[in-house]
Amino acid sequence: MKNLKDLLKIPLLTISIFFISVSCVKDVDLDQIEEIKLQPKAVVDLINFELNADLIPTLDLGNPFTTEEIIPFNVITDDLEESVVGIDLGFEYYNSLPRTFNVEINFLDDRNRVKQTRKFEIPPGSKNFPADNQLIFSFTTAKELELLSESTQVKAKFTMQPGPGATEGEIKLLSTATYQFEF
């Protein structure tokens, strides 16, 4: 009798495996392979700017102080151009200087022509209460992405507005580019 139970287990096990296999396969539509989209993201550092009050050459309270930085910017390569569906540029700032900064980010082509511009203001801060915040600029339209793909460098211009106050502190600006792809 024990032997008969063992013999019955094999067909039951085989039938169970067959039904499990068939039930998993019956709902698969191989025509859906064309509808599968991969949507990865990649984050790249862009700007890392830091200015200490000691490095500001003039303390003339009546004139603004301006400094700028130019960095290479090859945001969209030809082989990825079709796959990029959006780019978010994130800016995080920290200002412990008691002055307002106007920031202008220009995207330049290889002839130094401005393709796009983004502007924002960094409010004054203090050692005890620094101004800090995050901003995100999204580029999602075909025209915006096309202009970014033509950009080869970024020019970041920082203008410290005149005014009274201590000359202690620093300003920091960190920026990242988050790419959204669709394959």
Per-residue pLDDT of the chain (183 residues; tens, 9 = 90+): 555 555 555 665 666 666 566 555 556 666 666 777 777 888 888 888 888 877 776 555 677 888 899 988 876 666 777 788 899 999 999 999 888 999 999 999 999 999 999 999 999 998 889 999 999 999 999 999 888 888 999 999 999 888 765 568 899 999 998 888 887
CATH class of the domain comprising 35-181: mainly beta
* Rounded alpha-carbon distances, angstroms, from residue 54 to 12, 97, 126, 148, 162: 83, 11, 15, 35, 16
73 neighbors 152 (Cβ within 8 angstroms)? yes
Calpha distance 14→6 (Å, rounded): 13
Count CB atoms within 10 A of the CB of residue 1. Answer: 5
